[in-house]
Amino acid sequence: MLLEKLNWRYATKKMDTAKAVPQDKVDRIIEAVRLAPTSSGLQPFEVIVVTNPEVREKIKAIAWNQAQITDGSHLLVFAAWDTYTADRINSMFDFVNQERNFTSEGWENYRKMLLNTYPQRDAQVNFEHAARQAYIGLGLALTAAAFEGVDSTPMEGFEPDKLDEILGLRARGLRSVAILPLGYREVEKDWLAPLKKVRRPRDQFVTEVA
């Protein structure tokens, strides 16, 4: 059951350096991210999968030395578009039309509306909008990881500009948003492993408007 898996997962602090996540599991986690819904279906983010140990050492150094980055076997980097351009919007709409072999006036009007709105906006506003889509991917990745029995740690604790530099993201029109090490917990060495998962009770979290 999904809720059991979500209760099982936690933001793992110590991963076992001796255990690597099998490629088929990594592939299914990434596929869940690729299937993430995004605003207007633009998929304005990409995932960079870092396994290279030296690159992960460099990343750890600009991420509060968080050990999971190198103790895990894979590091997913969620990188959002730095802005929305007419080219990016048109590419996605053209691709959808081509894949479906179908278009409609309503869909083309929607494209025009986006073209008249997004590219003219401040790049930072566009990036922040794109970053919100990347977080949907992050949520799905950690859910899919839990489903696969794989541990992960969602992280914002890094210097995005420095990570962009390490991975050459700016040159590709991307900016890092969040990272997610994947691996397996080392229970005896993880202070968080035995502690209760804490969430506000439902009545302080949900408002019913019946």
Ligand X SMILES: Cc1cc2nc3c(=O)[nH]c(=O)nc-3n(C[C@H](O)[C@H](O)[C@H](O)COP(=O)(O)O)c2cc1C
| Bridge partners for 50 per DSSP | 75
**Cβ proximity to ligand X, 92 vs 186, nearer residue:** 186
Q: Which residue is nearest to ligand X (CB)?
A: 157
> Which residue, 92 or 134, is less far from ligand X as judged by CB?
134
Identity of the residue, 11 or 113, whose beta carbon is nearer to ligand X in the bound complex: 11
Give the shortest CB-155-to-ligand X separation in angstroms: 4
Least Å distance, CB 10 to ligand X, is 3
Q: How far is the CB of 144 from ligand X (least distance, A)?
A: 15
| CB 178, min distance to ligand X, A | 5
Of 130 and 178, which CB lies nearer to ligand X in the complex structure?
Answer: 178
Q: Using CB under 6 A as the criterion, which residues of the chain lie in contact with ligand X when the complex forms?
A: 10-11, 66, 153-157, 178, 197
